[in-house]
Amino acid sequence: MAETVPNTKNSDQFCYDLPSKFQPDIGLILVTGASGYIGGRLVPELMARGYRVRVMVRAESPEYALRWPGAEIIVADALDPKALAIALNGVDTAYYLLHSLQLGPRKFEGVDLEAAGNFCVAAEQQQVKRIIYLGGLGDVRNPLSSHLCSRMAIADQLRQGRTPVTILRAAIIIGSGSASYEIIYYLVKKLPLIFLPDWAANKCQLKPISYKESLVRAISRLEQDSVSTRWSDAYPPAHELAIKLHEVVGRVEYIKESSLVTDKEASALFQSLCRVGGKEGWFHTNWLWRLRGMFDRLLLGVGTSRGRKSQTRLQTNDVIDFWRVEALKRDRRLLLRAEMKLPGRAWLEFNISEAEGKRKLTVKAYFDTDSLAGRLYWSFCYPFHLFIFDNLIKTIEQRS
């Protein structure tokens, strides 16, 4: 293993510009919360620096091995002390980047404290040399939001053990794909005048780079369509351990299929269908897709606010509005799993196959339910599916 990493100014990674050097005496590094915005960018930086990295995830997925080749993937939950002890076994340094905000204001504080307590105990038992925690930045002399109070309580909880803890405090994180950047971007774009609430008066003591420079970097990454991680990469709480389509094939009762045959090449069709959702919408009857997203938001679901990380590229686990990419096979198949509020489980599958020298483009909707509410929901939606999916694949074929 080389002592230093060569300086490559054109690299997308920032580790090459750090003033410090690679430390060969640092052993295995554990990164938690790697599906989040910061963790997803930290893993490749550490690996490019030359460190051995173990990534802790709550659910197994083939996407992780493709996303971080060379990293060790281990499945564990911070609420499970036994699994946590296994994940921390042999670890030198652990990054604690976990939070449970998606559980809602009534649950996340208690869950976060329990997870931090478990992590603290397990780290001490496994003789971890250091925990690095990313918390929030705020003036404790002023009233703080429940989120900032929870961030500070977690820092105190981690310090209860004998394992040394390095606490980093960050204010709003402005980066391509971050929730903070996208909120600010759309507020400024849509509103000519913004009235700030009282809690926005909290001062930030640290300014490692200027606000202008942060925004320039974020905008340039977005314009280059090269957002490496995004706030929406993290799973909604009810979907991280979601059942996959292949686990229910054969017993899904409700299926709607539409198809057409075309002379277009499979690669052109695939490229076209992979652009659905996000800023470009769903190509046809967009108002119905937006209406479904609004209805989902009324039910406290994700709606269509998540959009897409990239408008031109897709990979497994990417988000497309209220869908998530479950499986992807180039020029052949795109399988989306629904993450909206539903009385059942739903998937949307696009397939491209050969048909007597031509290509057959098929879209198939699956709906799995055991409840009366689910059956009524499918019956209500079925008439809309009849023309939505027919027109969708026609538009995909025309745009390819």
Determine which of 96-105, 285-294, 338-347 has the lowest per-residue pLDDT on average. Answer: 96-105
Q: Which two tokens mark 221?
A: 């990454």
Helix (H) and strand (E) counts for the chain? 10, 12
14-61 per-position pLDDT tens digit = 666 666 677 888 889 999 988 777 788 888 888 888 889 999 988 777
The conformation of residue 279, written as its DSSP 8-state character, comes to G
Alpha carbon distance 287, 317 (integer Å): 26
Q: What is the pLDDT of residue 214?
A: 40
Q: What is the pLDDT of residue 151?
A: 77
Question: Sign of dihedral through CA atoms 281, 284, 287, 293?
Answer: negative
Are 176 and 227 within 8 A, CB to CB? yes
Portion of the chain with pLDDT greater than 70, in percent: 74
Mean pLDDT of 2-9: 39
- pLDDT > 90? residue 277: no
Using DSSP's 3-state secondary structure scheme, residue 368 falls into strand
Across 49-76, average pLDDT: 87
Write the pLDDT tens digit of every residue in 113-166.
888 899 999 999 999 999 988 877 766 566 666 667 777 888 888 888 889 888
Higher-pLDDT residue of 200 and 285 is: 285
Distance separating alpha carbons of residues 319 and 378, to the nearest angstrom: 23
Domains contained in the chain, CATH given: 15-170 (3.40.50.720), 248-399 (3.30.530.20)
| Integer Cα distance of 321 and 340 in angstroms | 9
* Residue-level pLDDT at 88: 95
Please give the model's pTM, rounded to 2 decimal places. 0.56
Gap between the Cα atoms of 143 and 54, Å rounded: 38
Residue 174's pLDDT is: 64
How would you class 48 by CB atoms within 10 Å of its CB: exposed for 0-12, middle for 13-18, buried for 19 or more?
Answer: middle
The angle subtended at Cα 58 by Cα 57 and Cα 63, nearest 5°, is 55
> H/E element holding 329?
strand 323-329
Compare 190 and 178 and report the one with higher pLDDT.
Answer: 190
With a cut of 50, say whether residue 231 has pLDDT above it: no
Residues in the chain, total: 400
